[in-house]
Amino acid sequence: MNRSENRYCLDLKLGSINLKSPIILASGTSGHSDELSKYGDLSSLGALTVKSLTMDPWEGNKPPRISSYGKAVINSVGLQGPGIKHFILYDYPRLEAANANVILSIWAKTVDGYADIAIKIQEAVAAGNLKNVIGIELNISCPNLEDQNRLFSQSAEFTAAIASSFKKLCSLPMLVKLSPMVADPVEIANAAIVSGADVLTLTNTMFGIGVDAVNLKFELGNIYGGVSGSSLKPLTQSIIKKIRDANRSIAIVATGGIFTLNDMIEYWFLGANAVGIGTATLFNPRASFKLQKKLIAHLNKNGYESFQQYWNYLQEERGKATDGY
């Protein structure tokens, strides 16, 4: 049987979530709805993570909002979005029509703000809406008004407070997305895990600025932004290794500089269960669909029956590589 026509082989369990593929579209680089459907079949991917939404519409930062160098970008989009209500009414139905599995990413400025969104989402679920939403991703890598604008995920206490209250209020699986800008990522990950996180998404962007040496200006209107793409990958990878070494069972989605099949293999080898494609989609909106084809060809060429079998092999190899030290 030609496995390229047989998608069952990519199935995996991501915590309590059944995914049909280990390739996910990361938040903020694949729109709020079905914008990418003209480039590939959204239903073939593991999930599409919508750009983080908060309760009300949010304007975001002043332009310019993005600049690129090499295979990396610095962005200060500032979480622009139409708000949860608009998403549920107008954007989500198009994703359901495209048969996409959806991860709904949310953010707020206070701990209570996350709880309010949990209640709103739970109401929609109880009303029989949001059937294709397979999980809620808490983007806690955003400024906390109650803590001098430090990121929520820079504090184990705030991470635990948001995750535990959200978990009580919303029945959907909970993904918690962490910042790489922390001294002790294992401490923050543990706070999320003991507070009920089903999945960790690792990581969001790291801090950065861009300077224009020709015009002697800052490249972003906001001056400060978040760096993603290849520059981020070694940092995200070191964080994933530390968290996986400390916890063998928590499900992990890796996001950070994935452009090639080898980038994905590196993350699976480190113990990530699935991968999120972010900046690569900005360079090429077909990136995730192409990577999925490459993965299927790789599994076929090397005689694996399933992605799970291949992933198990990579975990054994990591064990051997680690023992060597």
Closest approach, Cβ 105 to ligand FMN, in A, equals 5
Element (H, E) at 102: strand 102-106
State in angstroms the smallest separation of the CB of 302 from ligand FMN.
25
Residue among 88, 176, 93 at smallest CA distance from 135: 176
Q: Are 255 and 276 in contact (CB under 8 A)?
A: yes
142 catalytic, yes or no? yes
Name which of 28 and 135 has its Cβ closer to ligand FMN. Answer: 28
Q: How far apart are CA 323 and CA 152, in angstroms?
A: 35
Task: List the one residue out of 122, 114, 203 whose CA is nearest residue 160.
Answer: 114
- Closest approach, Cβ 233 to ligand FMN, in A, equals 7
CA distance 106 to 174: 11
Reduced to 3 states (helix: H, G, I; strand: E, B; else coil), residue 40 is coil
> Measured from the CB of residue 128, what is the shortest distance to ligand FMN in angstroms?
27
Which CB atom, from 46 or from 229, has the smaller least distance to ligand FMN? Answer: 229
- Indicate if the alpha-carbon torsion angle 255, 261, 262, 267 is positive or negative: positive
H or E, element range at 315:
helix 307-323
Q: How far is CA 93 from the centre of its chain?
A: 21
Query: Can you give the binding site for ligand FMN, defined by CB under 6 A?
Result: 26-29, 51-52, 66, 73, 75, 77, 79, 105, 139, 177, 204-205, 228-229, 232, 255-258, 278-280
Q: Which C-beta is closer to ligand FMN: that of 9 or that of 34?
A: 34
> Least distance (Å) from ligand FMN to the CB of residue 14?
16
- Active-site option among 26, 53, 142, 253: 142
Q: Which residue sits closest to ligand FMN, CB atoms considered?
A: 28
Q: Which is nearer to ligand FMN, 204 or 292 (CB)?
A: 204
Closest to ligand FMN by CB, 175 or 191: 175
Residue 156 DSSP code = H
Q: Beta-strand (E) ranges in 164-316?
A: 174-178, 199-202, 206-209, 211-212, 217-218, 224-229, 251-255, 274-277
Rounded Cα–Cα distance for residues 11 and 282 (Å): 26
- Residues annotated as part of the active site: 142
